[in-house]
Amino acid sequence: MTADSLLTTVLRIWERELGPEHTYTLTVKNNLCDLYRRQGHLKQAETMARSVVEARRRVLGADNPGTRTAELNLAQIWEDAGRYSEASRMATSVLEARRRILGVDHPQTLHTETMLARIFRKSHRLDEALSFALHAAEGTEQASGRSENRSAAISELCSIYAARGDRKSEALWRARLTSPPTP
């Protein structure tokens, strides 16, 4: 059984047993649309992701962490489709909410900054990308035990420095990838 057929089966069962807008059902649906995105089925992923975002907003509210995660998944689908304007608007909205609710140095906020930096880099908005990536990289350096976020943030910052032609800054940050975070 493939991952998508397994998730589809679980989704059908939970829709029948728990209802189409139960949080568990919406989580499986969100995971399935992320799988479709990773498989390159962007239209199918987008349709499903839009329905998850709408349902989560209705059921859980706009500022619920699950709603914001679903919005980021939709933004990532748009990013993969090269629809950077839509992706950056959605990711910016999530970032603003996470800063307000969680704080500027929360791991989820820093993760969102890294994602927004990547979207801006891909759309050649390098000054904006650098600002977000630098804050995310510095923030994850200070947050112990966040190695995945730290690696992603620093890697994105290096990509931005490379795109800007700043090899010195890129090399300095790349060296930090192999060193432990500063206390």
Is residue 168 in a domain?
A: yes
- Assess whether 97 and 180 both reside in one domain: yes
- How many domains does the structure of the chain reveal? 2
- What is the per-residue pLDDT for 7? 81
Query: Residue with structure tokens 């432990």?
Result: 180
Secondary structure of 112-178 in HEC code, one letter for each residue: HHHHHHHHHHHCCCHHHHHHHHHHHHHHHHHCCCCHHHHHHHHHHHHHHHHHHCCHHHHHHHHHHHC
- What is the per-residue pLDDT for 182? 59
- Assess whether 133 and 68 both reside in one domain: no
Supply 152's token pair: 């992603």
Is residue 111 in a domain?
A: yes
- Assess whether 49 and 15 both reside in one domain: yes
- Assess whether 76 and 97 both reside in one domain: no
Is residue 109 in a domain?
A: yes
- Assess whether 14 and 52 both reside in one domain: yes
Is residue 88 in a domain?
A: no
- Assess whether 70 and 141 both reside in one domain: no
- Assess whether 74 and 115 both reside in one domain: no
Supply 7's token pair: 């998730």
pTM summary value = 0.89
**What is the domain extent for residue 180?**
93-183
- Assess whether 156 and 70 both reside in one domain: no
- Assess whether 110 and 181 both reside in one domain: yes
CATH of the domain at 59: 1.25.40.10
- What is the per-residue pLDDT for 144? 58
- Assess whether 5 and 70 both reside in one domain: yes
pLDDT tens for the chain, residues 1 to 183: 788 888 888 889 988 999 999 999 999 899 999 999 999 999 999 999 999 999 999 999 999 999 999 999 999 999 999 999 999 999 999 999 999 999 999 999 999 999 999 999 999 999 999 999 999 999 988 875 556 788 899 999 999 999 999 999 999 999 988 876 655
Per DSSP, the three-state class of 1 is coil
Of 23, 48, 81, the residue that ends a domain is: 81
Is residue 150 in a domain?
A: yes
Is residue 87 in a domain?
A: no
CB burial class (10 A; 0-12, 13-18, 19+) of residue 1?
exposed
Of 56, 81, 106, the residue that ends a domain is: 81
